[in-house]
Amino acid sequence: VTGSAAEIAAALRQEQSFVLSSHARPDGDAIGSSVALALALQALGARAVVALHDPAPQPYRHFPAVDQIVVTSDATSLEGAAVILECGDLARTEISGLNRTTVVNIDHHLGNTLYGTTNWFDISAAACGELVAEVIDALGVAWTKDMATHLYLAISTDTGSFRYGPVSARTFDICRRIAATGVDTSQLSRDIYDSFSIGRVKLTGAMLDAMSLHHANQFALLYYDEALLRQCGAVVDDTEGLVNIPLGAKDVRAVALIKHQDAARYRVSLRSKGAVDVRAVADQWGGGGHANAAGCTIEGDLTTVRAQIVEAVGAALSAAAGPVGP
């Protein structure tokens, strides 16, 4: 652990104006963490704008204040201290103009480069939203239902509904306080998980139909491209979280979802259970993430990319099995 909520709050109190940001292609933790903190700073009378490279995923667009997010690749015209959430490196925002005199870095990704002028980095947090909850407390701001809604979005999605990551007593204590604000967490879960398009449901079927299994069913490989999206009436947004579905099979311990980017470039999302370290897999191609959730971009033809991933995940499965005894 580097830094603390108190140090972050002290740095934030020095400023009156903020630009908050998170990684490109934001997930629930990116949206929830940045909006919750922006609302808390606004409650203190500060100006706080959330700027992201890409829009919020469809299911989160009607969440409080999400319509106020500025979608841009250049934040130069937005004034204030930079507050970066959920990013191992500043470049992950894919937004220029954020390397400022004051950069506050709050994150839980292994390998965070401590790029801030004030940093709080804690990999024991199940979501960046857990750290934001403590920062809001350290700022002395009372939690509103809107803030609590976003903290729940962050924690629920980053833990896959409390199934993975370092879920702890702190996680449930924060969730207890979220419920105490009057937020209907069951309805929120419906809003998060059961608000997809028909295209998404069809795409799920098509991708699982074409899924290949390797290493005695321990590894599942999924793939999609523009043509499959069109065929199903789905959009890229609809693919969020699909990588987790094969983990529903007991035998499956790792999943890769390969997505055709352009020409000969493929984006690979990786998920795993328990000791299977897919970050080590992503690392071989300059990617990053967590032991159980990582990603990288690979160049080459699809057949080769698939073969390389199957081999690398095979090694990760063997490593997780530990040394074979005599």
* 29 belongs to the binding site for Mn ion (CB under 5 A): yes
Yes or no: say if 50 and 69 are a contact pair by the CB < 8 Å rule: yes
Q: Which is closer to Mn ion, CB of 91 or CB of 302?
A: 91
Which is closer to Mn ion, CB of 150 or CB of 215?
150
Only one of the segments 26-34, 60-68, 87-95, 164-172 lies at the binding site for Mn ion (rule: CB under 5 A); that segment is 26-34
Q: Quick check: 281 binds Mn ion (CB under 5 A)?
A: no
Side chain identity at 275, as an amino acid letter? Answer: A
Q: Which residue is nearest to Mn ion (CB)?
A: 29
- Give yes or no for a contact between 265 and 299, defined as CB atoms under 8 angstroms apart: yes
* Strand 219-224 to 254-262 pairing: parallel
- Dihedral sign of CA atoms 156, 158, 164, 166 in order: negative
Stretch binding Mn ion (CB under 5 A), from 98-106, 125-133, 175-183, 251-259:
125-133
Stretch of 154-162, 227-235, 244-252, 316-324 lying at the interface with Mn ion (CB under 5 A): 154-162
Q: How far apart are CA 132 and CA 154, in angstroms?
A: 10
Give me 104's structure tokens: 């506050």
The answer to whether 188 and 153 have CB atoms below 8 angstroms apart is: yes
128 sits near Mn ion (criterion: CB under 5 A): yes
Residue among 158 and 277 whose Cβ is closer to Mn ion: 158
Q: In angstroms, what is the minimal distance from the CB of 172 to Mn ion? A: 17
Residue 203 interacts with Mn ion (CB under 5 A)?
no
Residue 158 touches Mn ion, criterion: CB under 5 A:
yes
Report, in Å, the least distance between residue 108 CB and Mn ion.
6
Tell me how far apart the alpha carbons of residues 315 and 34 are, in angstroms, rounded to a whole number: 37
Q: Is 122 in the site for Mn ion (CB under 5 A)?
A: no
β strands within the chain, DSSP E: 17-21, 47-52, 70-71, 81-85, 103-107, 118-121, 212-214, 219-224, 254-262, 265-272, 288-290, 293-299
Q: With contacts defined by CB under 5 A, how many residues of the chain interact with Mn ion? A: 4
Whose Cβ is closer to Mn ion: residue 80's or residue 88's? Answer: 88
Interface positions with Mn ion (CB under 5 A): 29, 86, 128, 158
